[in-house]
Amino acid sequence: MTKAAWVLTAGLLFSGAQSGVSARQLPLDIEGYYLHLGLAHTSTSFVDRSAMDFQRIRLMASPSLGPLRFDLAYENTLSLSTTEATALSGLVVSSATGAFLPLQGTITQSSRTSWRHKLDRANVTLSIGEIAEVRIGRQPISWATTLFLTPTDPFSPFNPSDPFRAYRGGVDAARLQAFTGAFSSLELVVRPMAAVGDTTMTAAVRGHTVVSGWEVSAWTGILHDRWAGSVGVTKTISDVAIRAEGQVRETPTGTVLRYTLGADRRMKLFDRDLYVVLEYQHDGFGTDGPEDIPRVFLSEPYQLGEMQVIGKNVMALQGALTLTPLVSTEMFLLSNLGDPSLMVGSAASYVSGDESTIRVGLFWGLGTKEQTILSVPIPGSEFGALPLVGYGSFALFF
């Protein structure tokens, strides 16, 4: 554990001792999560055939002390690969958060081995009656309205190519929330982020309320040192949840518009539960075509982790069918409409115990696999260059 993590833990215990609070009064009930993942993919022009073993263990505690609540989560991950890992090897199993606080470290690192650990949650919350609360430290924050493609979420958007995260990653921030009504709130978030060779600042105010059955949210402020504003709405109409969110962003070359429109519904199919999600995203930061892929890979929004996909116009479709109380299946399609290219995913899950699940699945890409620019081979489309990926996982909560 890093020095800062030890300081945080010691400070928690010291504050309890100074207040005359015994261990029985300040319980550290620990919960855990374990993931064991096996993954293999075929070779392409950009990656060799490879197999990987990935393990993640997570320990969590949420003690309280009077008006103070603490949220701690420690993660340890080990990744072993038969070849050197590359950016085009298929799926993401661990991603950087742009961490500002030194609450993470590498135990062992080589071309085929990565053993890391971090405090994914490390924050303290002060409640001010029932009207407000202040939270400082590494914490999960989501301002998304849509489900998969979430361009207005400035913190840790869902990664559609990473089906292996059970918990939203924490970000380093200070957050003030004021509860102005039963369905209304105001909040201010200030987040410094470590970028490549620099530190960016995000400071934004968000409001959330319900108007005539519409759930409405909006935020404005500084996002990575530049002005941005956003609005999101959702409403259920005839059992269909309609969702939309959009962002206007200032850049050195002008204003960029990003938005997503989506709908989701639960229904019956042959007496089985079916859940369907459909979303369309337009992203002004995205590619205009295959020849634009290198520019986007090198762009600031992509480097800062703001882009879930690189296409300017993208469609996502997911269908999840519950076959029995223990068995479910899922199909996921993600298409870059401009390439065009398609990523297809299918999976089946089995609840093997009260707190455990076994999952197997495949991902593969369809589209132009390769192009050459200035005699350099690069992907011919966003998803066409992806290999066939197969995986199996075991997850246990304890």
For residue 184, the enclosing domain spans 3-10+30-397
**Would you state the pLDDT for residue 16?**
38
Q: What is the pLDDT of residue 234?
A: 98
Q: What angle do CA 268, 270, 276 make, to 5 degrees?
A: 40
Kindly state the helix (H) or strand (E) to which residue 17 belongs, with its residue range: helix 3-18
Q: What is the domain-level CATH number for residue 390?
A: 2.40.160.10
Number of domains making up the chain: 1
Residue at 23 is within a domain: no
> Would you say residue 96 lies in a domain?
yes
List alpha helices for 285-398, DSSP H: 293-298, 300-303
Whether 174 is covered by a domain: the verdict is yes
Residue 114 within a domain: yes
Evaluate whether residue 284 is within a structural domain.
yes
- Tell me the pTM: 0.86
15 lies in some domain:
no
Residue numbers of the chain with a pLDDT score lower than 70: 1-27, 85-97, 157-163
pLDDT at residue number 162: 65
pLDDT value at residue 8 = 39
In a domain, 72, yes or no: yes
Per the domain annotation, does 18 fall within a domain?
A: no
Number of H helices, E strands in the chain: 3, 22
User: Residue 343 pairs with which residues in a beta bridge?
Assistant: 334, 365
pLDDT for position 371: 84
